[in-house]
Amino acid sequence: MQIGSKIIYLDKIDSTSNYLKNNFEKGLVVYAGEQTGGRGQRTNRWESEAAKNILMSTALLHSSLKAENQFFLSKAVSLAVYDFLSNYVSGVKIKWPNDIYIFDKKIAGILIENNLRGANIYSSVIGIGININQEHFPEYLPNPTSLSCLTGKTYEPENLLNELIENLKMRYSQLEKKQYKDLSTSYFQHLYRFKIESNFLINNKIIKAKIIDIEKNGKLVLQFTDNRIKSYAFKELEFVY
C-alpha cells in the first residue's frame, strides 16, 4: 500500500501520531483539523490553530531499512516537506535534524517514531505539522511563520495535503531504492546554516562553530573557531538566535 492510498480526516484528536500507533495500517494517512496534544521534538508541544494548518501522520512498514540507516528516513521526509514548500516560497531550508525553516523562521516540524526489530526498522509513524494559514502564534514560540504570513494568501489545507503526499511518495521511493547518496546530497544542499559560523548552546555556554558534516547516525559535526571538530547528538546542543 502506497503512502496516502487511504486517508482519514479527524475533526479533533489528541495526536494524529497517537491515533496511528493505536490503529496502525501501512500507508494510512491521518490528518486533523485540530490536535489537543500535538507533539514536537524535545518533548515540546506542537501548537496549531484549528482548521488552519496541515496536521498529519502516516504509517510506514519498511521492507529492508537497517537501524543504522534510520537518519536517511529523516532526510527523505525532510526533503519531501522541503520540496512541497518550495513550490510556494523561496528560502526554504532544513534545520538539523528535521525542522523546516524559511530564512530564520520555523514553518514546519517533523516527528519520526520508529519500531525496531533486531537490526532493522520494522515500522515508523511519521508526524508532520506545517503552518499554512495561521497568522497569530503564542508569544513563547521564538520564531514561527506560515505560508499565509509569507505570501499574504489563504490556502486550502486539504488540497495542499494531497501535494505533500505526492512529495512523500517520491522521496520515500528514493529511500526504498537505497539512493542514499542522492538523499544526502540534496539534504546538504538545503541544510540550514551549513558551513556558516553560528551560535550554539552547548553545556550551558554559547559557542561559535559551523556545521561541516552529519554522521551516518545523524550526529551533527561542528568545527569550532580553534579548528576543533566534535560531533553532537540532537539533545546535546541548540541553535541560538
We report the CATH number of the domain holding residue 219 as: 2.30.30
Q: Are residues 233 and 155 both part of a single domain?
A: no
What integer pLDDT is reported at residue 168 of this predicted model? 98
| Separation of alpha carbons 137 and 239, rounded Å | 21
Average per-residue pLDDT for the chain: 94
What integer pLDDT is reported at residue 38 of this predicted model? 62
Answer whether residue 108 is part of any domain. yes
Answer whether residue 1 is part of any domain. no
**How far, rounded to the nearest angstrom, does the alpha carbon of residue 18 sit from its chain's CA centroid?**
17
What integer pLDDT is reported at residue 49 of this predicted model? 84
pTM: 0.95
Q: Are residues 74 and 133 both part of a single domain?
A: yes
Rounded average pLDDT over 110-129: 96
What integer pLDDT is reported at residue 28 of this predicted model? 98
Beta carbons within 8 Å of 198's beta carbon, 6+ residues apart:
208, 209, 210, 211, 239, 240
Q: Are residues 90 and 59 both part of a single domain?
A: yes
Range of the domain at 71: 6-189
Q: Are residues 129 and 215 both part of a single domain?
A: no
Q: Are residues 52 and 73 both part of a single domain?
A: yes
Q: Do strands 54-66 and 120-130 pair parallel, antiparallel, or not at all (unpaired)?
A: antiparallel
Which among 147, 167, 189 is the end of a domain? 189
Q: Are residues 48 and 116 both part of a single domain?
A: yes
Answer whether residue 100 is part of any domain. yes
Q: What is the pLDDT of residues 6-52, one digit of tens each?
A: 999 999 999 999 999 999 999 999 999 999 876 655 445 556 788 89
Q: Are residues 63 and 136 both part of a single domain?
A: yes
Lowest mean pLDDT across 43-57, 85-99, 211-225:
43-57
Q: How many structural domains comprise the chain? A: 2
